[in-house]
Every structure is written in C-alpha cells, then in structure tokens.
Amino acid sequence: MGCGSRESRSTVLGTTSGSAATDLFFAGTPPLSTGEVGQVVVTFEVVASSGTASVEIQRAYQLSNDGISWDTAVAFTADNAWVSSLGFDYGSATETIPVTSRFVRVGFQTNQKAGTDIEQIRVNVNTNLIPR
C-alpha cells in the first residue's frame, strides 16, 4: 500500500431492518487486505435520512477469509457512538484492524431505534486507511 495513508470516499445507501434487534452492515470500501491495512479512521456525512428519529448508524468493519463470505460486523472500539443526525460526524480515533482474517471492508451498520418502518439513509463515508 505504500508508505503513507490512503483515503477512500464513497456514498452509501443503507436501510434499516425494521427491527431494533437486527443491525445491517453497509460497506464503504471494497475488500482490502488485512496484511496491508493496519488502522482506519472513518468520518461520516449523513446526507439524507427518511427518519432521523428512527435510524442511527455506527462505524463498523467486517472480516472475511475469502472475500465472499463475511463475518458479523464489528463496531469500532473507540469511535463507537450511534449517530442519527444529519451532517458530519468526524472520526477522532484510529481503529486497529486485526489480522485474524485475510480481508476487511469498512463502513457502517444501521439500527432501527424506533418504530418498525424500514428506513433509508444516504451516507458519505470517508475512510483514512493507514498501512501496517
């Protein structure tokens, strides 16, 4: 990956499941090698939401050994607050990516905090990828 960090930007459309018991993961990066990516910092811009009172998002990542089947999303340990308002939420802490699997993808997970209607959200995801 080179000597310095690399930035990835994407606009991601997400939904909720309609249930507070089920979080859904949405990738903001393509699959990346865990041998190359050591840490990440993620900044969100929540651009639009069909129900800011009902939907919230949280920084998360998923691991995979084959790049096809993905493990359950893991919330960031430091920047792990749920965000529900429109606008920017700046990543302030680095998240170390484990090397227990070959691949990682970074993004966010959604949660239905109120009601049962499936909600939609559009998020600009800026990911700063820091090499090992």
pLDDT at 3 over 80: no
Report yes or no on 123 lying in a domain.
Answer: yes
Token pair 């090499």 is found at 131
Pairing of strands 37-49, 24-27: unpaired
Report yes or no on 53 lying in a domain.
Answer: yes
* Distance in angstroms (rounded) separating the CA atoms of residues 127 and 61: 11
**2-6, 81-85, 94-98, 125-129: range with lowest mean pLDDT:** 2-6
Q: Which domain holds residue 13?
A: 6-131
In eight-state DSSP terms, residue 83 is B
Closest CA to 76 of 89, 85, 87, 65: 89
pLDDT at 2 over 80: no
**pLDDT for the residue numbered 1:** 46
In eight-state DSSP terms, residue 34 is T
Report yes or no on 127 lying in a domain.
Answer: yes
Report yes or no on 1 lying in a domain.
Answer: no
CATH number at residue 119: 2.60.120
Report yes or no on 79 lying in a domain.
Answer: yes
Mean pLDDT of all residues in 91-103: 93
User: Domain total for the chain?
Assistant: 1
In Å, the largest CA–CA distance within the chain is 47
pLDDT at 99 over 90: yes
